[in-house]
Each structure stands twice: as C-alpha cells, then as structure tokens.
C-alpha cells in the first residue's frame, strides 16, 4: 500500500474500499464472516472516524477486515494509528458551559406557596360540591327506599256501633219469602198492594183496626209474623191462599 500517513481518514477509507473491490468481495460477505455490522464497515471505508466505536475496537475490526481479504495488516494498522492520533488531536472538545443556579427570591416563594394553597382549597371545594351533586342525583338511601316500599299498615277499623233494627209498627204484618211469591193486600175490599215479592225479600204491611185480607200465590214460600202470632209457612207449597188478618190463633185465620 502507498504511504497514507500524510493524507486524511477519508483517503485511508477509499484505499480500503478499493482493496476490497479488487478482491471482488462484498461488505455483506465480510459482515457475515466477521459479525461486524454493515454500518461500521461503511464508516470504516468512508474514513468517518467519528462514527466508529473507538481506536481499540476499530483496530480489531480493521484486522478482521484485512484478514478476510488475505492482506498483511501490520502496515495498515500502523497507518491507522497515525491517522487516528491526528484526527483525535485535531478534534476540539466542546466548550463547557457553567450554568449558575438561579435562586428564587424570597417573595417569589411566598407568592408561589400562597397560589398552591388557594389552588388546593379550590380543588377540595369543587370535589365536595361534586359529591353533593352526585348524592342528590342518586336519590334516597337504601334504608329510605325500603321505608317507602314497606307496606303501609291498614288503619285500625273503628268498631261500628250496632245499628238498631227497624222496628215494625205495632200493627205491622211482616212477610218474608223463601221463593218468589205473588202478594196482594186488600183493606175494605180495596187492593193496596199487588206485587211479586222476590225470594229473600221482606215486606211490612200496616194492618188497620178493621183488619185486612192477604192473598198469597204460593203459601209454602212465605212466613208471616203479626204481633206475637207467626205462620211459617201459612200453607203448602204452590197453594193459593186467601188469609184474613189478624188471625186469632197460630194457624187459624179470622175472616173479616
């Protein structure tokens, strides 16, 4: 190889690339054999020392690179050492900038603390208001809801005062039917009542001093009560009966 120590890293890299191409070897083949990444091999052939990991590792990569090509590495390594030292010495370190700590003034700290306290109080107030609103939207508590759903005990019934049974008039004739029965009530030969008395009904007729006459369409379906006298029934089932009222004894009719 020609003496490249007076040249720069770029010229050194171009010579390496020309050597590889003269051997008709690709970077992929070298990377597969030496396990060196393609990016590192490209930086080496470009003379981009700033992209290489350092002098020690780069010398090792360069030795493997040349060994794969079957070249003697000693002269190449010597040239690399000279070029690396020149490049390293020419590289200017970045200036160190000293940043002075800016201490906040006392009144600034007080203002900041007061602002934080006010902010915390506002957050607490907002949270309490939100909780109250949510509780109002949720509605009654489970206990209150159960009390609302609990059945209301029925009111205590007030004992009803016994109603007085209507008293029949002193001269009243009371008829009670077990079946439907035709009833006629005549006084002095004049009919005062003519009707069909339904089953289970009761009819009270006022009997004058002169008495009256009762016509029954079914004597076995009616019971009669007049003062202390009672006929229950006054006749047979289906019997048409004409009865003078009042009758003298139980079962005996008095003709007017």
Q: CB within 8 A of 256, min separation 6: which ones?
A: 210, 211, 212, 213, 244
Same fold, 9-90 and 172-245: no
Q: What is the mean pLDDT of the chain?
A: 80
pLDDT digits (tens, 9 = 90+) for 101-145: 545 556 687 788 888 988 888 888 888 877 666 555 555 555 655
Q: What is the pLDDT at residue 141?
A: 57
pTM of the complete model beyond 0.85:
no
Q: Where are the domains of the chain?
A: 9-90, 172-245
Residue at token pair 């009762």: 214
Give the mean pLDDT of 23-51.
93
Q: How confident is the model at residue 243 (pLDDT cuts 50, 70, 90)?
A: confident
Looking at domain 172-245, its CATH architecture is Sandwich (2.60)
Topology (CATH) of 9-90: 434 Repressor (Amino-terminal Domain) (1.10.260)
256: preceding bond cis by omega (within 30 degrees): no
CA quadruple 122, 125, 131, 133: dihedral sign: negative
């Amino acid at each position: 190889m020609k003496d490249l120590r007076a040249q720069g890293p770029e010229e050194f890299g171009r010579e390496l690339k020309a050597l590889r191409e003269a051997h008709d070897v690709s970077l992929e083949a070298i990377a597969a054999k030496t396990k060196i990444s393609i990016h590192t091999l490209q930086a080496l052939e470009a003379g981009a020392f700033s992209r290489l990991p350092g002098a020690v590792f780069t010398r090792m990569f360069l030795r493997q690179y040349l060994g794969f090509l079957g070249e003697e590495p000693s002269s190449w390594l010597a040239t690399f050492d000279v070029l690396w030292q020149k490049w390293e010495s020419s590289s200017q370190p970045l200036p160190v900038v000293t940043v002075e700590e800016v201490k906040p003034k006392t009144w600034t700290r007080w203002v900041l603390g007061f602002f934080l306290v006010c902010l915390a109080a506002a957050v607490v107030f907002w949270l309490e208001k939100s909780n109250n609103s949510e509780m109002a939207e949720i509605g009654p508590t489970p206990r209150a809801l159960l009390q609302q759903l609990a059945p209301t005990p029925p009111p205590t019934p007030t004992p009803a005062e016994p109603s007085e049974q209507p008293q029949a008039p002193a001269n009243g004739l009371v008829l009670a039917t077990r079946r439907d029965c035709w009833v006629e009530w005549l006084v002095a030969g004049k009919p005062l009542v003519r009707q069909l008395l339904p089953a289970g009904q009761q009819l009270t007729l006022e009997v004058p001093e002169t008495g009256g006459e009762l016509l029954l369409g079914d004597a076995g379906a009616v019971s009669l009560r007049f003062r202390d006298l009672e006929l229950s029934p006054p006749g047979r089932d289906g019997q048409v009966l004409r009865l003078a009222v009042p009758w003298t004894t139980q079962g005996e009719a008095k003709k007017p």
